[in-house]
Structure 1
Amino acid sequence: MAVRSLQLAAAFLCIFNAGSFPLDPQTAQPATCGYESCHATRPDMLNVHLVPHTHDDVGWLKTVDQYYYGDRNDIQHAGVQYILDSVVDQLLKNPDRRFIYVETAFFYRWWKQQSSSMQQTVKQLVNEGRLEFVNGGWCMSDEATTHYSAVIDQMTMGLRFLNDTFGPCGRPRVAWHIDPFGHAREHASMFAQMGFDGFFFGRLDYQDRARRRTMREQELLWRASDSLAPPVADLFTGILPNGYNPPPGFCWDQSCDDPPIRDDPDLEDYNVDDVVQRFLAIANSQALVYKTNHIIMTMGSDFQYENANLWYKNLDKLIHYVNAQQADIGTVNVLYSTPSCYLQELHRANLTWALKTDDFFPYADSAHDLWTGYFTSRPALKRYERISNSNLQTCNQLEVLGGPGSRQGPFGKGDSQTMKKAMAVAQHHDAVSGTEKQHVADDYARRLADGWRHCQVLVSNSLAALSGSSAERLYCDNLNISVCPLTEASKQFSVNVYNPLARPVTWPVRLPVNGTSYVVSDAKGKSVECQVVPVSAATREVRKNRGFAVNELVFQVQAPPLGFTTYSVSLLQDGPPPASTRHRTPTAIQNKFLRVTFDPDTGLLSSLSNLETKQTIKLTQNFFWYNASDGNNSLSNQPSGAYIFRPNSSTPFIISRTARTESVQTAALQEVRQSFAPWASQVVRLYSDSRALELEWTVGPLPIQDDLGKEVITRIDTSIKTSEYFYTDSNGREVLQRKKDFRPTWILWQSEPIAGNYYPINSRAFIKDDVDQLTVVTDRSQGGGSIKNGSLEIMLHRRLLYDDVRGVAEPLNETSSIFPEGLVVRGRLLLSLDRPPSAADAHRPLAQEVVLQPLLTFTDGALPPNTRLEFSGLQAALPPAVHLLTLTQWDEDSVLLRLEHQFQSWESKLNSQPVTVNLQKLFSTLELLGVSELNLSANQWKDEMRRFHWTPQTGEQPPLKKFQDASVWEVTLRPMEIRTFLLRVSLRQS
Structure 2
Amino acid sequence: MGSRPLSRGLVASGCRSAAGPWVRSRALRSPFPCVVFLFSLLLAAPGAWAAGYETCPKVQPDMLNVHLVAHTHDDVGWLKTVDQYYYGTRNDIQHAGVQYILDSVVSALLAEPSRRFTYVEMAFFSRWWRQQTNATQEVVWDLVRQGRLEFANGGWVMNDEGATHYGATVDQMTLGLRFLEDTFGNDGRPRVAWHIDPFGHSREQASLFAQMGFDGFFIGRLDYQDKNVRKKKQEMEQVWRGSASLKPPTADLFTGVLPNNYNPPKDLCWDMLCVDKPVVEDPQSPEYNAQKLVNYFLKLAAAQGKYYRTNHTMMTMGSDFQYENANLWFKNLDKLIQLVNAQQANGSRIHVLYSTPACYLQELNKAKLTWSLKEDDFFPYADGPNMFWTGYFSSRPALKRYERLSYNFLQVCNQLEALAGPAANEGPYGLGDSAPLNEAMAVLQHHDAVSGTAKQHVTYDYARQLAAGWRPCEVLLSNALSRLSGYKAAFSFCLKLNISICPLSQKLAHFQVTIYNPLGRKVNHMVRLPVSKGIFNVKDPNGKIVPSSVVVLPSSQYPEDHSELLFSASVPAVGFSIYSVARVSGSNLWDHTPKSRFREPQTRVLAIENEYIRAIFNPDTGLLMKIENLEQQLVLPVKQSFFWYEASIGDKDSSQASGAYIFRPSQSEPVPVSRWAQTHLVKTALVQEVHQNFSAWCSQVVRLYPGQRHLELEWTVGPIPTIDNWGKEVISRFDTPLRTEGQFYTDSNGREILKRRRDYRPTWQLNQTEPVAGNYYPVNSRIYITDGYMQLTVLTDRSQGGSSLSDGSLELMVHRKLLVDDERGVGEPLLDEGSGEWVRGRHLVLLDQVNNAAAGHRLLAEKEVLAPQVVLSPGGSIPYYSGAIPRTQFSGLHQPLPPSVRLLTLARWGPKMVLLRLEHQFAVGEDSGRNLSSPVTLDLQNLFATFIITHLQETTLAANQPRASASRLKWTLNTGPISSPTPPKLNPASITLQPMEIRTFVASVKWKEDS
Q: TM-score, normalised by structure 1?
A: 0.96
1:563 aligns with 2:575: yes
Q: Which amino acid aligns with 2:593?
A: P
Matches within 5 A, 1:150-549: 150-540=168-558
Contact 1:12 1:163 in 2 (8 A): no
Q: Tell me which residue corresponds to 1:103.
A: 121
Per-residue CA deviation, residues 391-449 of structure 1 (Å, 9 max, x unaligned), is 00000111111111110111011111110110000000000000000000000000000
Q: Which amino acid aligns with 1:595?
A: R
Contact 2:160 2:448 in 1 (8 A): yes
Instruction: Tell me the distance in 1 between the aligned counterparts of 2:290 and 2:998.
Output: 54
Secondary structure class of the residue paired with 1:607: strand
Structure 2 residue corresponding to 1:860, chosen from 853, 862, 874: 874
Distance of aligned partners of 1:24 and 1:484 in 2 relative to their CA distance in 1, 3 Å threshold: closer
> How far 1:989 moved relative to its partner?
2.9
Contact 1:683 1:697 in 2 (8 A): yes
Contact 1:276 1:322 in 2 (8 A): yes
> How far 1:21 moved relative to its partner?
5.1
Contact 1:18 1:30 in 2 (8 A): no
Moved more, 727-736 or 958-967: 958-967
Per-residue CA deviation, residues 358-403 of structure 1 (Å, 9 max, x unaligned), is 0000000001000000000000000000000000000011111111
> How far 1:557 moved relative to its partner?
1.2
Secondary structure class of the residue paired with 2:102: helix
Structure 2 residue corresponding to 1:895, chosen from 889, 914, 919: 914
Q: Tell me which residue corresponds to 1:826.
A: 840
Secondary structure class of the residue paired with 1:539: coil
> How far 1:353 moved relative to its partner?
1.4
Q: Tell me which residue corresponds to 1:38.
A: 56
Instruction: Tell me the distance in 1 between the aligned counterparts of 2:178 and 2:620.
Output: 60
Contact 1:844 1:902 in 2 (8 A): yes
Q: Tell me which residue corresponds to 1:4.
A: none
Structure 2 residue corresponding to 1:879, chosen from 889, 892, 898: 898
Instruction: Tell me the distance in 2 between the aligned counterparts of 1:283 and 1:891.
Output: 50
Structure 2 residue corresponding to 1:923, chosen from 934, 940, 944: 944
Contact 2:599 2:682 in 1 (8 A): yes
> How far 1:861 moved relative to its partner?
2.5
Q: Which amino acid aligns with 1:834?
A: D
What's the RMSD between the two structures over aligned residues? 1.8
Instruction: Tell me the distance in 2 between the aligned counterparts of 1:788 and 1:240.
Output: 36
Per-residue CA deviation, residues 929-984 of structure 1 (Å, 9 max, x unaligned), is 00000000000000111101112222x12223336458343210000000000110
Contact 2:44 2:113 in 1 (8 A): no
Q: Which runs of 5+ in 2 are unaligned?
A: 1-20, 880-884
1:803 aligns with 2:821: yes
Moved more, 530-539 or 60-69: 530-539
Q: Tell me which residue corresponds to 2:730.
A: 712
> How far 1:643 moved relative to its partner?
0.2
> How far 1:719 moved relative to its partner?
2.4
Contact 1:385 1:423 in 2 (8 A): yes
Q: Tell me which residue corresponds to 1:552.
A: 564
Per-residue CA deviation, residues 449-469 of structure 1 (Å, 9 max, x unaligned), is 010011000000000111111
Instruction: Tell me the distance in 2 between the aligned counterparts of 1:18 and 1:877.
Output: 59
Q: Which amino acid aligns with 1:971?
A: I
Q: Tell me which residue corresponds to 2:850.
A: 836
Instruction: Tell me the distance in 2 between the aligned counterparts of 1:825 and 1:586.
Output: 31
Q: Tell me which residue corresponds to 1:544.
A: none
Structure 2 residue corresponding to 1:850, chosen from 859, 864, 881: 864
1:618 aligns with 2:637: yes
Per-residue CA deviation, residues 652-697 of structure 1 (Å, 9 max, x unaligned), is 0011111100010111010000011000000000001211100000
Contact 2:720 2:817 in 1 (8 A): yes
> How far 1:354 moved relative to its partner?
1.8
Secondary structure class of the residue paired with 2:129: helix
Distance of aligned partners of 1:964 and 1:941 in 2 relative to their CA distance in 1, 3 Å threshold: closer
Contact 2:921 2:996 in 1 (8 A): yes
* Seq. identity, %: 56
Per-residue CA deviation, residues 186-207 of structure 1 (Å, 9 max, x unaligned), is 0000000000000001000011
Distance of aligned partners of 1:692 and 1:264 in 2 relative to their CA distance in 1, 3 Å threshold: same
Per-residue CA deviation, residues 53-79 of structure 1 (Å, 9 max, x unaligned), is 000000000000000000000000000
Instruction: Tell me the distance in 2 between the aligned counterparts of 1:9 and 1:984.
Output: 20
Q: Which amino acid aligns with 2:871?
A: T
> How far 1:169 moved relative to its partner?
1.0
Distance of aligned partners of 1:671 and 1:73 in 2 relative to their CA distance in 1, 3 Å threshold: same
Q: Which runs of 5+ in 1 are unaligned?
A: 1-6, 542-547
> How far 1:578 moved relative to its partner?
2.5
Instruction: Tell me the distance in 2 between the aligned counterparts of 1:609 and 1:105.
Output: 50
Secondary structure class of the residue paired with 2:111: coil
Secondary structure class of the residue paired with 2:579: strand
Contact 2:395 2:452 in 1 (8 A): yes
1:582 aligns with 2:594: no
Instruction: Tell me the distance in 2 between the aligned counterparts of 1:103 and 1:470.
Output: 41
Contact 1:626 1:711 in 2 (8 A): yes
Instruction: Tell me the distance in 2 between the aligned counterparts of 1:379 and 1:30.
Output: 49
1:726 aligns with 2:740: no
Q: Which amino acid aligns with 1:382?
A: K
Q: Tell me which residue corresponds to 1:126.
A: 144
> How far 1:528 moved relative to its partner?
1.3
Q: Which amino acid aligns with 1:44?
A: D
Instruction: Tell me the distance in 2 between the aligned counterparts of 1:767 and 1:915.
Output: 29
Distance of aligned partners of 1:889 and 1:364 in 2 relative to their CA distance in 1, 3 Å threshold: same
Secondary structure class of the residue paired with 2:592: coil
Contact 1:133 1:171 in 2 (8 A): yes
> How far 1:18 moved relative to its partner?
8.4
Contact 1:323 1:334 in 2 (8 A): yes
Q: Tell me which residue corresponds to 1:138.
A: 156
Contact 1:929 1:983 in 2 (8 A): yes
Q: Tell me which residue corresponds to 1:3.
A: none
Q: Tell me which residue corresponds to 2:972.
A: 951
Q: Tell me which residue corresponds to 1:911.
A: 932
Instruction: Tell me the distance in 1 between the aligned counterparts of 2:764 and 2:556.
Output: 47
Q: Which amino acid aligns with 2:1009?
A: Q
Instruction: Tell me the distance in 1 between the aligned counterparts of 2:986 and 2:425.
Output: 36
Q: Tell me which residue corresponds to 2:807.
A: 789
Secondary structure class of the residue paired with 2:680: strand
Q: Tell me which residue corresponds to 1:939.
A: 960
Distance of aligned partners of 1:12 and 1:586 in 2 relative to their CA distance in 1, 3 Å threshold: farther
Per-residue CA deviation, residues 141-187 of structure 1 (Å, 9 max, x unaligned), is 00010100011000000000001101111000000000000000000
Structure 2 residue corresponding to 1:740, chosen from 758, 763, 784: 758
Secondary structure class of the residue paired with 2:461: helix
Contact 1:784 1:793 in 2 (8 A): yes
Contact 1:483 1:549 in 2 (8 A): no
Distance of aligned partners of 1:555 and 1:378 in 2 relative to their CA distance in 1, 3 Å threshold: same
Instruction: Tell me the distance in 2 between the aligned counterparts of 1:68 and 1:472.
Output: 39
Contact 1:684 1:696 in 2 (8 A): yes
Contact 1:20 1:128 in 2 (8 A): no
Contact 2:792 2:845 in 1 (8 A): yes
Distance of aligned partners of 1:778 and 1:489 in 2 relative to their CA distance in 1, 3 Å threshold: same
Q: Tell me which residue corresponds to 1:606.
A: 625
